[in-house]
């Protein structure tokens, strides 16, 4: 298989397969989790303004009182790489084209040099949070194979995408093929690892917000 | 596997619901919850990271409720939860967790960790892995009627004293009263002024109230140990009493967990909504204040600060009332850092104060409260929970800090003008 064939496979069969597992996996996991249901709360509710599941979905994106100072790397590094990832994935023109070809949806992208810069920042932020995970006793203590593995799964697409655009190390076609393959790996594993928080974070925040809303605690 | 262990695992399986599944699936191991937990911040030991306290429950979730986990279990790749492991976890689930809920307040993905600790205690207690201290409290509450072994005659004796001291009647089993007042053993034994305070406050407000001879104890050790069946027995006593006396409102005393047990867990424990309202005494005082039914005279002039009981403020949503009440009678009321919603626990909530083996850790964790107090250097510390009060007094004594602790209700009552004066 030469690099062209590899790229063709990655773009064709490979992509179909990965997207298929991703979609089925997400659906399965969502059902697996949320079909467990929960008991109705029979205690009398105390209403308060600004306390509900929906409020909490947004509010939890902001650090709790005093926490930014306690865990600056987690928050600043975390924000940076999450926003960076979102920009690279959804606002890079070639990605938008791909999404358009798959779904018909399209939106304006950002200039390629800008996305380039964002990719570098994202890579740097990810390295920083990794170092933090190694250095901080609590994070190291909590970390299992999954944490290192999912970091790698997330890191590779950014790195290889950036390298492909920069024509670094390997010929463009090969690097692009590797980039696509790394994304496919990420898609396949996302539903079954902690990366699934991308979906459940909304459910979790909604649940805790509802419980607090019921008690009239606005958080 | 022993029969009790089997039961424990079954219970752990049963308590897992969609929120818990969602929480475990959302955790990104960021460790931020550790920074919110006084047992971690004061010891620096990562094993006290809140989400880690739930590791056995998480594994049960994974092994029983996820496709991959079930596959792993089938081919023998997963580590089953053992009795020895749960035994080891006792320290994490009880001694080093006061159910204060700070972790739940900060988790960026929204994990309600304290909700899960509460649920995990169900399995711990079913498998026989709850601490003896709380077990004893539960047994006494079930057989005698209160965790400290207080019986009705003791309450009656207390009532008589208070009636003599205050010249006000203490009604018992008065049918049709508006309020039924609950006590905590701690108050009956250590802080009898509470009952007198209630008598004065109700008298001034012109409200009818009563104690109940079959339900005077509000604390619920069943909830603290994590045994819903026992918690239900205890709550039912109160429900029966309140319905028999046809009261409109049951007043939870200055005790955080009694409030949570009755206000938020009670109806769920007995499986139907209450026919009466439940309010914490501070909520009632807040209402009286708003309606102009509470009139005080004079002010405390020394420097006072207020310790928010976790179950009242963060877990119960009562935050403003105590501040309005403080300002009503105090000229020099200062707030500690993190006061209110994010206040730090005294270190002895959730049944922890009943665990003897946990004392050393509790004293260690108290350094957090000490640093809060050091920041404002108050002359006295006011709170609204008899359990906080005892734990605070112990901690203050240990660190040789000369700060008396007072209950807010009593302080308010002291400023109610004498009748006819
Ligand atoms: S703060 Fe939340 S997401 Fe972070 S480790 Fe704790 S439970 Fe997990
Ligand atoms: S509820 Fe409080 S004591 Fe328990 S783990 Fe959370 S922060 Fe720590």
| B146-288 is classed CATH 3.30.420 | no
Interface A-B: count of C-beta contacts within 8 A: 171
Burial of residue A37 (CB within 10 Å: 0-12, 13-18, 19+) is exposed
Q: Which of residues 96-155 of A touch B (CB under 8 A)?
A: 136-144, 147
First-to-last CA distance in chain B? Answer: 71
pLDDT over 70 at B421, yes or no: no
Question: Closest Cα to atom 4, ligand 2: which residue?
Answer: B97
Collapsing DSSP to helix, strand or coil, B287 comes out as helix
- The residue assigned the tokens 């979609």 is A23
Torsions phi, psi for A143 (to 5 deg) = -70, 135
The rounded radius of gyration (Å) of the Cα atoms in chain B is: 22
pLDDT tens figures, A65-103:
889 999 999 999 999 999 999 999 999 999 999 999 888
- The arithmetic mean of pLDDT across residues B114-121, rounded, is 97
Token pair, residue A55, equals 């409020």
Q: Looking at residues A12-17, what average pLDDT do you find? A: 94
Least Cα distance to B303 among B330, B340, B339, B337 occurs for B330
pLDDT in tens, B181-194: 999 877 777 778 89
Quick: pLDDT tens for B361-389.
Answer: 999 999 999 999 999 999 999 999 999 99
- Residues contacting ligand 1 via CB (< 6 Å): B 27-33, 51, 107, 109, 111, 113
A167 touches B: beta carbon within 8 Å: no
pLDDT for B420:
57
Q: How much is the pLDDT for B418? A: 83
Ligand 1 centroid to Cα of residue A82, in Å, is 16
Strand order in the sheet with B179-181: B209-210, B179-181, B249-252, B277-280
- Of the candidate ranges B50-54, B203-207, B417-421, the one whose mean pLDDT is the lowest: B417-421
**CA B235, B239, B244: angle at the middle one, nearest 5?**
150
> Which residues of A are less than 8 Å from B104 in CB distance?
208
Q: Which CATH architecture has domain B5-130?
A: Orthogonal Bundle (1.10)
- pTM of the predicted model as reported, rounded to 2 decimal places: 0.94
CA torsion, points B102, B103, B105, B110, in degrees to nearest 10? -170
CA of B113 to the centre of ligand 1 (A): 9
* Pocket residue to mutate for ligand 1, from B21, B25, B34, B51, most atoms within 8 A of Cβ: B51
Q: Looking at the domain covering A3-36+48-214, what would its CATH class be? A: mainly alpha
- Give chain B's mean pLDDT: 93
Least confident interval from A46-50, A87-91, A186-190, B219-223: A46-50
Contacts of A143 in chain B (CB under 8 A): 29
* The CATH number fitting domain B293-414, selected from 1.10.3470, 3.40.50, 2.20.25, 1.10.150: 3.40.50
The domain ranges of chain B are 5-130, 146-288, 293-414
Expressed in angstroms and rounded, the spacing between residue A34 Cα and the centre of ligand 1 is 20
Q: Where do the domains of chain A lie?
A: 3-36+48-214
Q: What is the mean pLDDT of residues A205-219?
A: 92
Q: Which of B104-108, B139-143, B364-368, B398-402 is least confident?
A: B139-143
* Option in A32, A38, A207 nearest B67 (CB): A32
This model of the complex carries an ipTM of 0.96
At B241-295, the pLDDT tens digits run 999 999 999 999 999 999 999 999 999 999 999 999 999 999 999 999 999 999 9
pLDDT computed for residue B16 by the predictor: 98
Nearest by CB to A60, which of B22, B108, B274?
B108
Measured between CB atoms, which of A57, A143, A203 is closest to B22?
A203
Please tell me if the CB atom of residue B97 comes closer than 6 angstroms to any atom of ligand 2: yes
pLDDT of residue B185: 79
pLDDT in tens, B23-35: 999 999 999 999 9
């Amino acid at each position: 298989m030469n690099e062209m064939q590899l790229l063709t496979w990655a773009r064709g069969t490979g992509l179909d397969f990965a997207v298929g597992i991703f979609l089925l996996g997400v659906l399965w996991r969502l059902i697996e989790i949320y079909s467990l249901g929960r008991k109705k709360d029979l205690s009398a509710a105390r209403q308060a303004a600004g306390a509900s599941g929906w409020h909490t979905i947004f509010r939890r994106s902001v650090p709790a009182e005093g926490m930014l100072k306690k865990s600056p790397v987690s928050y600043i590094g975390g924000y940076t790489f999450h926003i960076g990832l979102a920009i690279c994935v959804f606002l890079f023109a070639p990605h938008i084209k791909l999404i358009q070809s798959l779904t018909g949806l399209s939106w304006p992208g950002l200039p390629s040099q800008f996305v380039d810069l964002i990719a570098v920042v994202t890579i740097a932020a990810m390295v920083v949070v990794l170092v933090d995970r190694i250095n901080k006793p609590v994070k190291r203590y909590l970390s299992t194979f999954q944490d290192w593995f999912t970091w790698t799964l997330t890191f590779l697409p950014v790195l290889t995408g950036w390298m492909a655009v920069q024509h670094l190390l390997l010929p463009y076609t090969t690097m692009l093929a590797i980039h696509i393959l790394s994304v496919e790996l990420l898609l396949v594993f996302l539903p079954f690892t902690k990366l699934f928080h991308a979906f459940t974070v909304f459910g979790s925040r909604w649940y805790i917000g509802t419980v607090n809303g019921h008690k009239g605690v606005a958080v | 596997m022993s029969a009790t262990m089997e039961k424990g695992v079954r219970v752990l399986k049963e308590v897992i619901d969609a929120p818990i599944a969602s929480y475990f699936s959302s955790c990104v191991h960021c460790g931020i919850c550790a920074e919110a937990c006084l047992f971690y911040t004061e010891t620096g030991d990562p094993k006290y990271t809140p989400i880690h306290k739930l590791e056995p429950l998480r594994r049960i979730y994974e092994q029983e409720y996820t496709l991959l986990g079930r596959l792993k279990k089938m081919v023998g790749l997963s580590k089953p939860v053992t009795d020895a492991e749960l035994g080891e976890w006792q320290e994490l689930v009880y001694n080093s967790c006061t159910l204060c809920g700070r972790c739940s307040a900060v988790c960026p993905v929204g994990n309600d960790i304290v909700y899960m600790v509460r649920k995990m205690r169900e399995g711990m207690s079913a498998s026989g892995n709850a601490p003896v201290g709380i077990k004893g409290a539960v047994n006494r509450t079930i057989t005698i009627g209160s965790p400290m072994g207080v019986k009705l005659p003791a309450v009656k004796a207390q009532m008589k004293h208070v009636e003599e001291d205050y010249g006000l009647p203490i009604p018992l089993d008065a049918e049709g009263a508006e309020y039924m007042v609950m006590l905590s053993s701690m108050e009956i034994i250590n802080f009898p002024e509470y009952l007198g305070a209630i008598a004065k406050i109700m008298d001034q407000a012109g409200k009818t109230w009563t104690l109940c001879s079959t339900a005077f104890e509000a604390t619920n050790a069943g909830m603290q140990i994590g045994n819903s069946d026992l918690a239900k027995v205890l709550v039912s006593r109160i429900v029966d009493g309140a319905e028999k006396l046809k009261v409109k409102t049951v007043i939870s005393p200055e005790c955080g967990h009694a409030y949570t047990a009755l206000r938020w867990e009670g109806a769920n424990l007995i499986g139907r909504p209450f026919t009466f309202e439940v309010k914490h005494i501070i909520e009632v005082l807040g209402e009286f204040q708003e309606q102009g039914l509470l009139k005080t005279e004079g002010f405390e002039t020394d420097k006072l600060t207020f310790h928010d009981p976790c179950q009242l403020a963060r877990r119960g949503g009562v935050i403003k009332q105590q501040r309005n009440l403080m300002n009503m009678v105090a000229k020099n009321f200062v707030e500690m850092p993190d006061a209110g919603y994010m206040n730090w626990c005294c270190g002895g909530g959730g049944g922890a104060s009943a665990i003897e083996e946990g004392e050393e850790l509790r004293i260690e964790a108290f350094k957090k409260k000490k640093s809060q107090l050091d920041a404002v250097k108050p002359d006295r510390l006011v709170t609204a929970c008899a359990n906080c009060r005892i734990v605070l007094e112990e901690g203050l004594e240990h660190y040789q800090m000369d700060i008396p602790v007072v209950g807010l209700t009593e302080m308010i009552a002291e400023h109610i003008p004498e009748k006819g004066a």
